[in-house]
Structure 1
Amino acid sequence: MNARPRIQATDVVESLLVFLAIMALWWLASHQEWVSKVFLPTPEATLASLKEGLLDGALVGNSVDTINRMLLGWLLASLFGIALGAMIGISATARAWLQPTLEFIRPLPASAIMPLAISIFGLNASMVLFVVAFGSMWPVLLATVHGFATVQPRLREVADALQMSRTMFSWKIALPSAMPDILAGMRLSMTVSLIIAVVGEMIASQSGLGQAVLLAARSFRASELFAGVVLLGAIGFAANALLALAEKKLLRWQRP
């Protein structure tokens, strides 16, 4: 009965030890100047820049811009990915026709789409939002297709016996069955949306942590650069943790 909590506590302790080891290595490398402080600031300097940026509001404003861009792009990607994935996954004919096209487009990096997006939207916030939504849609789309395509045959037989329409079958049976795949795709999509949002801010010169990190790098303000990177890592960690908690709550009916 108590094995699972002990394992979880051990995992937490081990993760903390790894984190402390990385921090100790960073402290040693910066103070011993294995790498010039122009490129590798000390943890203390990074923490001071992070505190200063949060107190004067600069990092707070940039974080809000990046989070808003990330969330909006992720929501659009999830909406279109689930809708399109459900339509493709529920139909074997649609999968046969569209799967090769999806596999052709899926590996394209979002950075390769940016020149096309720039030509359509220009260097503005709409361009960044489009690229974020496009790039982060694929994990949700492919996960939804897989979830709907792998519904147990017995559930389909039950739906046929009850003379359920395809729409009713999709909503009542296929969607709950595919939910684990969909939520896993949405978690991956959130990480992708943060990455693309930062890259888009750098390229399109839009306000956000991406632009702040780029400007700090160009000015050789290493501590501010690392402060921005640390903040981006914290945002990604928090977003993943919240989605993991939501996934646990939504899928609690699967646990025995």
Structure 2
Amino acid sequence: MKHTPHTVWIRGLEPVAVLMAWLALWWFASHGEWFSRVFMPTPEATWESLLKGFSNEAGADAADLRVASWQTFVRMLLGWGLASLIGVALGTLIGMSVVARQWIAPTLEFLRPLPASAVLPLAISIFGLSSGMVLFVVSFGAMWPVLLATVQGLANVEPRLREVAAGLQMSRTAFAWKIGLPATLPDILAGMRLSMTVSLIVAVVGEMIASQAGLGQAILLAARSFRASELFAGIVLLGALGFVSNALLAGLEHRLLRWQRP
């Protein structure tokens, strides 16, 4: 079915309509005092906290949301980048060898469902309550989607491509670099998008537990002080940070995979 520009325009407004509906529900719930204002501020109060946090008016009791957002973003980006590099490297080594997949697959299946929070005590004992500890936990938690996607993609490379590589007497390294990884790129990018979401979640949890500056700490302090508007402002910023990061990576994926489209 061919979509007219008018139809595309209407469909583009549907997500906005859903967002406005949620905002309207929030407005009615807060102004109608369905819940106590201590726990649910109004959208206007949340907006004022956002403006205050991004302005120079943030005092000693209010978090500087500009600095906190940047610190969380950098921590997320570093952990995600490190996880992506390690995941692709290890995934390539495992995925290129049938024997390695058979031997290591049970270990991967054992470690894969292990939540990143489970390694927090180990990370604290090694690194202490430091930024290095948070980076380690973020990298560990975000590595698995990339690693497993790389292994799965290389294991399912078109057999005819392997036959062509064997006919050309290509080495394993040449096959991985020139054929394997390009063919696996859609799987790797999908794993990296999921990994970015995991890295943001784990970074916030790590900031809360290790008392590291960032949105996680700002949200925790606001909750302990019953500053609901600042708490909701931090949550809104986390959602915005995740949305923008995912949108940028989706745009990069769209450009890198344009050769797949007819």
Range class of TM-score, shorter chain: over 0.9
| Long gaps (5+) in structure 2 | 59-63
TM-score (structure 2 length as normaliser): 0.95
Query: How far does residue 40 in structure 1 lie from its aligned partner after superposition?
Result: 0.1
Cα distance in structure 2, aligned partners of 1:19 and 1:89: 42
| Long gaps (5+) in structure 1 | none
Cα distance in structure 1, aligned partners of 2:135 and 2:179: 33
Q: Which residue of 2 aligns with 1:177?
A: 183
Matching residue within 103, 111, 114 for 1:108: 114
Query: How far does residue 185 in structure 1 lie from its aligned partner after superposition?
Result: 0.3
Cα distance in structure 1, aligned partners of 2:4 and 2:211: 48
Q: Which residue of 1 aligns with 2:260?
A: 254
Query: How far does residue 13 in structure 1 lie from its aligned partner after superposition?
Result: 1.4
Cα distance in structure 1, aligned partners of 2:168 and 2:7: 45
Cα distance in structure 1, aligned partners of 2:204 and 2:241: 12
Query: How far does residue 161 in structure 1 lie from its aligned partner after superposition?
Result: 0.5
Tell me: CA distance 1:134–1:4, structure 2 relative to 1, closer, same or farther (3 Å): farther
Q: Which residue of 1 aligns with 2:55?
A: 55
Q: Which residue of 1 aligns with 2:248?
A: 242
Aligned: 1:70 with 2:76: yes
What amino acid sits opposite 1:80 in the alignment?
I
What amino acid sits opposite 1:181 in the alignment?
D
1:59-98 matches, cutoff 5 A: 59-98=65-104
Cα distance in structure 2, aligned partners of 1:53 and 1:135: 30
TM-score (structure 1 length as normaliser): 0.97
Aligned: 1:41 with 2:36: no
1:151-190 matches, cutoff 5 A: 151-190=157-196
Runs of 4+ deviating beyond 4 Å? 4-8
Query: How far does residue 9 in structure 1 lie from its aligned partner after superposition?
Result: 3.3
Tell me: CA distance 1:97–1:228, structure 2 relative to 1, closer, same or farther (3 Å): same
Query: How far does residue 2 in structure 1 lie from its aligned partner after superposition?
Result: 5.3
Percent identity at matched positions? 68
Query: How far does residue 11 in structure 1 lie from its aligned partner after superposition?
Result: 3.4
Q: Which residue of 1 aligns with 2:146?
A: 140
State the SS of the aligned residue for 2:129. coil
Aligned: 1:19 with 2:19: yes
Matching residue within 201, 206, 212 for 1:200: 206
Matching residue within 118, 121, 146 for 2:124: 118
Query: How far does residue 159 in structure 1 lie from its aligned partner after superposition?
Result: 0.3
Query: How far does residue 71 in structure 1 lie from its aligned partner after superposition?
Result: 0.3
Q: Which residue of 1 aligns with 2:61?
A: none
Cα distance in structure 1, aligned partners of 2:254 and 2:97: 29
Q: Deviations over 1:143-184 (max 9, x none)?
A: 000111100000000000111001000000001100000000
State the SS of the aligned residue for 1:39. coil
What amino acid sits opposite 1:190 in the alignment?
M
What amino acid sits opposite 1:191 in the alignment?
T
Query: How far does residue 10 in structure 1 lie from its aligned partner after superposition?
Result: 3.7
> What RMSD, in angstroms, separates the aligned Cα atoms of the two structures?
1.3
Cα distance in structure 1, aligned partners of 2:77 and 2:70: 10
Q: Deviations over 1:41-89 (max 9, x none)?
A: 0000000000110112710000110000000000000000000001111
Aligned: 1:209 with 2:231: no
Query: How far does residue 16 in structure 1 lie from its aligned partner after superposition?
Result: 1.0
Query: How far does residue 253 in structure 1 lie from its aligned partner after superposition?
Result: 0.8
